[in-house]
Amino acid sequence: MKNRPCWLEEARCGLPCGKKLKCGTHTCRKECHRPGECEDAEIPGSYCAQPCGKTRKSCEHACQDSCHAPYQCKEDRPCQSKTFITCECQNRKKEVKCLATKTNPTPDRDTLKCDDECLRLQRNQRLAAALNVDPDHTDDHIPYSDTTLKLFRELSLTWAQNQEREFRVFASEPSEKRLRFRPMPKAQRAFIHNLAADFGFDSESQDPEPHRHVSVFKTPRF
């Protein structure tokens, strides 16, 4: 425990409590406190005031309803988390609300049309095919962005290489569609988001601090 001012009557460590709340799912986010003073102490019932956070069965996003333990997520209201729609060739993508519900897991969404850049890429692919030129990489090298490389240098090299290895394994497994990382600091989450973009994945941060983590999703092109 760090040094504390001598005028404090009670010594506390200053860290989040972390005790399991009566809902059985969430932990107390209050700073170290006396027994019986967890954040759900004055809330009746078997739930707390935190967002549920469980994975919705209709879309695999985190449930944003208030804690409703021990009952299952209703999923009767459209999911407000982000997802992506793509054009036919998968080159363009747009962020939209998920809107999935238990009764409608695949709601109608806007569609994206291919643009001039899409047509240019398609022409290049046809030309490569005509010339018998492989348009893909000849190895497994992924061109990383300047931001990713900057974070790579700033963070622990061993840690960053381990995350890169996780991405490569995830990319090579056709049956795996979602990769969830453990809670981590903001700088590490930024590295995961940038690395996901470099690999062509979608990513989003979920849950409030100190449990905020990143989930990575494969795009339709995979």
Give, as one character, the DSSP assignment of residue 140: S
Q: How far apart, in whole angstroms, are the C-alpha atoms of residue 26 and residue 162?
A: 28
| All structural domains of the chain with their residue ranges | 76-135, 144-222
Question: Could you tell me if 148 and 198 are in contact, meaning their C-beta atoms sit under 8 angstroms apart?
Answer: yes
Could you list the pLDDT tens digit for every one of the 222 residues in the chain? 566 666 666 667 878 999 999 898 899 999 988 888 899 988 887 788 899 999 999 998 999 999 988 889 999 999 999 998 999 988 898 999 999 999 999 998 888 999 988 888 887 676 556 445 455 544 445 578 889 888 988 999 899 989 999 998 898 888 899 999 999 999 999 999 999 998 889 999 999 899 999 999 998 776
User: Cis peptide before 70, with omega less than 30 degrees from 0?
Assistant: yes
Q: How far from 137 is each of 133, 141, 202, CA to CA, in Å?
A: 11, 7, 21
pTM: 0.49
Report which of 102, 110, 114, 116 is spatially closest to residue 59, judged by C-alpha positions.
102
The closest alpha carbon to 33, from 18, 47, 22, belongs to 18
Please identify, in words, the CATH class of the domain defined by 144-222.
alpha beta
Q: Where are the alpha helices (DSSP H) in the chain?
A: 116-130, 146-154, 157-172, 186-199
Task: Decide: helix, strand or coil at residue 214.
Answer: strand
**Phi, psi dihedral angles at 111 (to 5 degrees):** -115, 150
122 contact partners, CB below 8 Å, separation of at least 6: 89, 114
State the Cα–Cα distance between residues 156 and 162, nearest whole angstrom: 10
The 3-state DSSP class for residue 178 equals strand
Confidence (pLDDT) at 175? 87
